[in-house]
C-alpha cells in the first residue's frame, strides 16, 4: 500500500508543473489616456442682467437685451463645445471610430 501512495504522490508532483506551462500569463490592460477638459468650457454661464425696479427707456432696455443675448449665445456655444468634447472622449474610451 505504501508504494502506491508514493507513486501517486510522485505522479502528482510530475503533473502539477505541466499544468503551469499550459497557462500563459495575461498582460495587464492598457489604461486609457483621458484628456483633460479645457477650463474655459467648464465656466458657469453669466446670469441675465438685473433690470432693477426702475422703469427703463426703450434704448436702455434694448442695450441690456442685446448684451444678454450675447452672453446667452456665448454660453450656448461653450456648452456645445463641452458636449462635443465629452461625446468624443466617451467614443474613444468605448473604442468607437
DSSP secondary structure letters along 17-38: HHHHHHSPPPPPPPPP-PPPPP
Residue with the larger pLDDT of the pair 18 and 6: 6
What's the confidence (pLDDT) of residue 23?
A: 60
Please write the tens of the pLDDT for every residue from 45-97: 888 888 888 888 999 999 999 999 999 999 999 999 999 999 888 888 888 76
Q: What's the mean pLDDT in 22-40? A: 76
Cα–Cα distance between 87 and 83 in angstroms, integer? 6
**pLDDT value at 16 more than 70:** no
User: pTM, whole model, 2 decimals?
Assistant: 0.59
What's the confidence (pLDDT) of residue 78?
A: 93
Cα–Cα distance between 17 and 11 in angstroms, integer? 11
Q: Which three cell numbers stand for residue 80?
A: 456645445
Q: Confirm if 33 and 94 have CB atoms less than 8 A apart.
A: no
- Counts for the chain of helices (H) and strands (E), in that order: 2, 0
Nearest 10 degrees: Cα torsion 38, 39, 41, 43: 180
- Domain range list for the chain: 38-97
Amino acid at each position: 500500500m505504501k508504494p502506491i501512495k508514493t507513486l501517486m504522490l510522485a505522479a502528482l508532483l510530475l503533473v502539477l508543473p505541466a499544468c503551469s506551462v499550459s497557462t500563459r500569463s495575461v498582460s495587464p490592460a492598457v489604461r486609457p489616456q483621458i484628456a483633460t477638459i479645457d477650463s474655459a468650457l467648464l465656466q458657469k454661464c453669466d446670469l441675465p442682467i438685473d433690470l432693477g425696479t426702475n422703469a427703463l427707456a426703450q434704448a436702455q432696455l434694448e442695450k441690456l437685451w442685446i448684451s444678454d443675448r450675447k452672453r446667452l449665445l456665448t454660453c450656448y456655444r461653450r456648452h456645445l463645445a463641452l458636449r462635443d468634447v465629452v461625446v468624443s472622449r466617451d467614443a474613444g474610451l468605448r473604442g468607437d471610430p
